[in-house]
Amino acid sequence: MPLLSAPLFQQAFGLEDVSPSSQQRYEAKLQDYQAREWQLMQQKERLEARQQRISQLKGRYNF
């Protein structure tokens, strides 16, 4: 059983009107958020790799 029934889910997220156009807008927003989340994860991974490299260099040169 889902945590929220479809009507409750729609109401909780302001999706009372579930016309095809509002559903498409919702799906487009969801895709935008997922793309942004992926970009942020990529940035985080690059930052962590950069920080690790800085730590290695500090250890090598005793900063």
14 found inside a domain:
no
pLDDT class for 49, splitting at 50, 70, 90? very high
61 found inside a domain:
yes
> What is the predicted pLDDT for the residue at 23?
84
12 found inside a domain:
no
State the average pLDDT for the chain: 83
54 found inside a domain:
yes
42 found inside a domain:
yes
Name the amino acid, one letter, at 49. Answer: A
Q: How many residues does the chain have?
A: 63
Q: What is the pTM of this model?
A: 0.55
Which residues constitute the domain of residue 45? 35-63
- Structurally, the chain folds into a number of domains equal to 1
CA pair distance 9, 5, nearest whole angstrom: 6
